[in-house]
Amino acid sequence: DKCEQPYQLNQTDMEECTEIETFDYFSGSEASFILTFFASGLFAIGCILLLFFLGRKKDAAMKTIRAGDRKKHANKMDSDERIFITNEWRGKERERAIKVKLGPGRQMSVLSDFGRVLRMVEFTDAVKTIDMQVAPDKGRKMMLIRVEKEYDL
C-alpha cells in the first residue's frame, strides 16, 4: 500500500463539529431584487409595444400604397406621355406598386415606384394583336394586357 495510515483515527483525534452556516444573499438587497425584475418586465412590455406600433405603421403605409393615394399621386399628363399608378399582381408573390407609362410614341413602360424602368413594350408594326382583358367583376379592378412575344402585363 503506497499510502499507509500511521494509525486508525478515532474521535479524540478529530476537532469538534461546527454548526452549519448559510449566507443569505437576499437580505439587504430586497430593493435591487425588485427593481431588477420590474425593469426586466418593463423592457419586455416596451419591446412588445414597439413591435405592435411598427406593425401598425407598416400596415398604414401599405394601405396608402395600395390605395394609390390618388390625391397625392394623380395621373400625370406630360405632352405625349401618360403615367398611371397601379399595382402589379405577381402570382404567388405579393403585389407591388408600379407606374404604367404610355408613350412617347407607340411604347408602354412599366416603372417601379421609384421611376426605374422594369419592362418596356414596343407597339411596332410587327405587333399584329394586343389582347386586353378586363376582369368581369363589379369593380373591374384587374386588367390583363398581352402582346405577342412579350411578357404579360
- Looking up cell 483525534 gives 13
User: C-alpha grid cell for residue 31?
Assistant: 430593493
Residue 62 sits in the same domain as residue 100 = no
SS (H, E, C) 42-87: HHHHHHHHHHHHHHHHHHHHHHHHHHCCCCCCCCEEECCEEEEEEE
Most confident residue range from 9-18, 47-56, 138-147: 47-56
Give the domain extent around 39.
Answer: 18-67
Buried b (16+ CB within 10 A) or exposed e, 80-94: eeebebebbeeeeee
Q: What is the pLDDT of residue 79?
A: 44
Residue 32 sits in the same domain as residue 83 = no
Residue 57 sits in the same domain as residue 115 = no
The residue out of 6, 39, 67 marking a domain boundary is 67
Flag whether 56 is in a domain.
yes
Residue 128 sits in the same domain as residue 87 = yes
Is pTM beyond 0.75 here?
A: no
**Total structural domains in the chain?**
2
For the stretch 114-150, pLDDT in tens is 888 888 887 777 677 777 778 777 766 777 777 777 6
> Residue range 13-24: average pLDDT?
86
